[in-house]
Amino acid sequence: MDVTKAVQDIKAGKVEYRLDKLNIIHLGFGKVSFGTKKLLENYDVIINAIIKAKPVAAKGQYIKSVSIATTMGPGLYIDQK
């Protein structure tokens, strides 16, 4: 594992995400200090990347719901239809 390259990728904005055993994606997409505009921009980029990564064989509704929460705070449920 190339730690230097990993740090450079993260600083450049690369985000990796994985599914847990219940097919739930957990990832961070910003900090409160980013401001509303940047957080919404990051959210849009992530949702579009997830939709783009949809396997061809996947049938039905791909994203059923979205829940956003601060690391140590309550969640915000978003119905993604």
The domain tally of the chain equals 1
The CATH number given to whatever domain includes residue 30 is 3.30.190.20
Which contacts (CB < 8 Å, 24+ apart) does range 12-18 have? Answer: 15/46, 17/46, 17/50
Q: Which structure tokens are listed for 29?
A: 């997409």
> What per-residue confidence (pLDDT) applies to 58?
83
Contact call for residues 25 and 37 (beta carbons, < 8 A): no
SS3 content of the chain, % helix, strand, coil (to 5): 35, 10, 50
pTM: 0.67
Provide the residue-wise pLDDT of the chain in tens; the chain has 81 residues: 677 877 777 777 777 777 888 888 888 888 878 888 988 888 888 888 888 888 888 888 888 888 887 777 666 656 665
The residue assigned the tokens 């061809």 is 56
Domain that holds residue 38: 3-78
